[in-house]
Structure 1
Amino acid sequence: MSDAERNTKQLLDEIAFLRGRLKQLEEAEEKWKLAEKEIRKSESDKSLILGSLLELITYQDRSLRILWANKAAGDSVGLAPEDLIGRYCYEIWHGRKKPCSNCPVAKSIETGRSQEAEMTSPDGRIWYIRGCPVLNEQGEPVGAVEVTLEITQRKRAQEELKAKNLAIESSINAFTISNSCGKTLYVNPAFIRMWGYEEPAEVIGKNTTEFWRDEKRVLDVIETLKKEGEWRGELSARRKDDSYFDAQVSASMVKGRAGQPDYLMASFVDITERKKTEQALRDSEQKYKTLVENIPGMVYRAYPGWSAEIFFGCEEICGYTPRELNSREKNWLSVIHPDDKERVLREGAEIVNEPASIVQVYRITTKSGHVRWVEDRKTSVFNHKGRFIGIDGIVLDVTERKEAALSLERQREFELLITDISKQFVNVSTEQADEQINLALKALGEFAQVDRSYIFQFFEDRRKTSNTHEWHVEGVAPQIDNLQDLSVDTVPWWMDKLNRFENVYIPDVEKLPARAENEKKILQAQSIKSLIATPMVHNRRLVGFVGFDSVRCKRTWSEQSIAMLTIVSEIFTNTLMRRRIQQELDTHYEKMRRAEQLASLGTVSATIAHELSQPLTVIRLFLQQGARALKDDNDLDKVEKVIDDCLDEIAKAARTVDRFRRFARKAAPVYITEVNLVEVARGIVEILAGSARMRKLELSLDIKRHPPNIIGNSVELEQMFFVLIQNAIQAADGKTQRDMKITIAAKSGQIQLTFADTCGGIKEEYMDKIFEPFFTTKPANVGTGLGLCILERIVKRHGGAVSVKNKEGYGTTFYITLPIKN
């Protein structure tokens, strides 16, 4: 075969081959078209299926760019699926510019195996993501399908379930799950501990009734659960050791889809201690209630604004009901006495800032208008936030106790007043007695809150009485001038009581008995409504009475007050009787002083006669000379001179008589004036100078720096000088020359007098008696023995002091001090 033939044959073979191949291709094309048609139909079905899925499905290339996405993927970000094509997944769902570090899709493309992970988007949603790689014919990843499901709710539910499981496991409350037949399927650790078991295996599978004391009661509860779905109450539980405890049960029945009972869940709380506490609380409440109900007072809780929740005792305290005290017109604040309200509010404000307790005592005005004393024991109350919410308190009626305390306090004050008055009267002089009595009547009257206080004294053997002292308040008329020299016969009822040493107590003059009609008229005339008079008794003899009048209102006196007034009456009685005795003593003293003075006059009479005889002799001689001159020479000038000389002598005699008369006059005890002791001393020295010369006694005065005058009785002070000088004259023997020096000086507000003589002194055994009355060492018929006794009294009456220093065989010195201002 030629080359051409071979070429032709080869060409024909190739054409035949090509035709066969073409036919194969045509057949393959037809198959492909059919396959493509089927694929397209399948893809449409798949797209429809994928589009209806809730999972987010996307197909991504190797760079994670989305090539296809289903409807759920677009809906998750609010876009159409086609709007996601060409965008990156990490950009759309995570707002990132590059892939996430743990992206399961990227890992599936990288590894060629499916990957999965949970991821959280910036908006807080949680996603379950699965990446499935798409491989080419060579098995190389060319992309990946991402299937994403939002599991936020499921995740949170799982976490919640986990937390609940943990709570159940760690709860102090017991928890069980049983099936509808009561078989125990689950118990938590608290159940194991509460029932005294060691591990759940001891409990699981047991019937619920085995854990309770009353099985029938438990079965009834289960039936109730099947019907009503839940039950709450208390049951007595049985522990493993067969001991019992009280449990609070809360149970629910879980039903299946068909509504049939499926599971029974229950929780339990051991309330044994709570039950004991509640019982103790009930017992305590009952005890508290019993105690409180026996409290004789009002128990309350007060709120801001003075509204109050009064539990009981209100009417017994103030007469108002709780409703009345919480009305618009009335509250507890309005019941408090106006004089105490400000203090109560001020003290109460001190406990509203922090918890504290106080006790207040104040007055209230009851519904009936009476004033009562109460003791309010209150404690401030705050809530858990520290906010003040009110005051809890108890109000007790303490009127009797308070009045007793006030009475006791007033009694003490009265006792102190009487003590003070007593002190004032201890050393009061007779001259100051009246003034001190009037001051005491004033103090007593003001303390007793009366209108008049007074003293009556009896005279003329109790036939007459006079109002001798009186005090009265301003606006009440005095009666002292109208009540002088009254006959006691006009008040027989009054005098009958006083003569029996009884108090005259008249709380209401209008209610005096008929036999006291005279007294009633007399008291009404003075506008007296009430009075108390206590007798003044001395040596079992009625000497007067002390009275207290209430003119403006009626009043009463307690027994204690009357008893204290009796003491006052005794004080006044002692003072007035002491004054009477003192007046009698003063009278006797004056008589003694006068007797001593007259005796002294007798002593100096010879001296006075001698001093008077000398000028009389001179006068007689002068007159004889004048008569001769007139008869013989008719010399009138000589007669005139004689007359002048006679007048001089008469003046000397007059001075002597005047000194004697002045010394001999009676002393006036109340006549107090300024006295110049230097002049007094000189006057007495002049009077006694002649007697001193006859007894060879030289008298001398030593005056230091012109001492000031003193306040005193000049007659008594003259006699003081006379007694000491006269004693020295009488002690001088007239044989040996003696002397007496009288010194007058002022020092430290006092006049200091010194009488120092050298007349032999006094025997030592007589020194303790020299100031006693009627004691004398002189011969009989010489002196009275009263001189030094009177001297001592004079010195004391002038507020001074006297002392003596004696040297037997030599002489005596008397020291006298007198205050300049007496």
Structure 2
Amino acid sequence: MAAVNRADALEGIVHTISTRFVGTSDLDRAIDDTLAEIGHATGADRAYLFLLRLDDSTLLDNTHEWCREGVEAQMEQLQRLPRDLFPWWMGEMERGASIHIASLDDLPPEAAAEKELFEAQDIRSLAAFPVQIQDGLGGFIGLDDVSEADPWTGRDIELLYVVAQILGRALSLERLRRERDRMAGVALAEAKRMEAIALLASGAAHDLNNLLTVVENYADLLQSQLVDPAQRRDIGEILDASQHASDLTRLLLGFGRRAGGRPVADTRDALDAVTRLLRRVLPPEIQLEVDCADDLPSVALDRGSLDQIILNLTLNAREAIEGPGVIRWSCAVVSSAPGTQRAGPWIRVAIDDDGEGMSEETLARVFEPLFTTKTSGTGLGLAMVRDIVDRNRGRMEVSSTLGAGSTFAVYLPTTVARPGPERAEASTPRARGERVLLVEDDRSVRVVISRVLEAHGWSVSAVATLREGLAALEADGFDLVMTDLELPDGDGLQMAERAGARSVPVVVVSGHRSDGSLQRLSVHRGYRVVRKPFHRRELLAAAHDALR
């Protein structure tokens, strides 16, 4: 009769804990309550849970314990126990078997080490059940008796095994929750770090753009005055270097941001620009080979997104190469893309390396955020690439052979893009004395813009702050307002909006805002937009266009 009552009690416990662990906010208490109920129902003197340590699976900790009144607790002494201290016991647990020892004399000869330990604790009978956590042995729950040998029945053992399974599922869910929270914390910390870096990079890009604006426009003015071909070529070298530096600041400005803007009109030119930069950052022992078609159509994503795709894939290839190696690009127009029936043409950009390659397990997880095989990696680069490609309705393929390298292929949809402002020829029309209010806080930029405009027939009044600009606009009449967006005492948009309210055309100048935000100013507010660093002919074309 006692055995029947014990089995009924255990069945009730199984039913109770099946719901107890669902959504519990205090798993430790739920485990303690369960061990106490098991101990009372079975007549045991102790019920306990041992778990393998997460930081070292060769060690066991007694994490939870219930003891009948008058029975000495053992948990504090049972920490960081080497699992090889119990070879027979742990072997049984590893193969998923229950252990039921009605008497220590029933232990097999290979359990001599365990028998010695149990005798030292005055244990007379015991039972243990493996706890599976996330598809592997996580530990075990156990019962023991120090007062008398308990005749637990086969039904008791079956029900206790079920209890261990339920507990294992609860612990698995808890570990998954903690890992999810940890990853979310890592992602949040990384996002904050990236935000700080992006802010720093953006500020640096703004300052560099101001300097490049001055260098490029003074060099251009000087070149227009020279006759000697050799001197003009020298100035041309300065202008080329300025353009390369401009490419770098554009990448700095886009760093850490979700890019957005008009589609890339000249795909080959964009790829050439990022190639020049990568040749400077790749170590000398790694060769970069590029094979791109000349007549690439426009791609249906913005310049910043294209740059991020190429940069992240190339730098990922660099990390895969130990010592000397080769990274190869190929760019071509293809008629179809994998996984879609959307008609082409598509641009296929393939980047392959002769690095270490990836195993099938790594390949299956390569685009997971925060997954990385590098000791110093963030696990965000390839995830960012996948996100950009997916948002722009592109496709990706990846193949890899362990020890032989990897190939990442990106398929980008094409479009008919509206080209950006092109540099006008030297025949840019001259102004006829129209008055321009220039609001620019950087003195050097203010001076060079004033000089360019005045050299082409404009009358310029230049101020350095928003307050001065608003006061000048109220005091006098102007045909055009040209304002920087980043002013020391406010947002240049206030200047633009006040001018618009007076029906004065506006040209906004910025070396700080993203392509997407500048495009919205152009499309939705009708402002002419000039991005720093600019060529003087771009500035003059925008000014004349605004007056039309």
Alignment TM class, shorter chain as reference: 0.3 to 0.5
Higher relative contact order (CA 8 A, sep 6+): 2
Q: Which has the larger radius of gyration?
A: 1
**TM-score normalised to structure 2 length:** 0.36
**TM-score normalised to structure 1 length:** 0.24
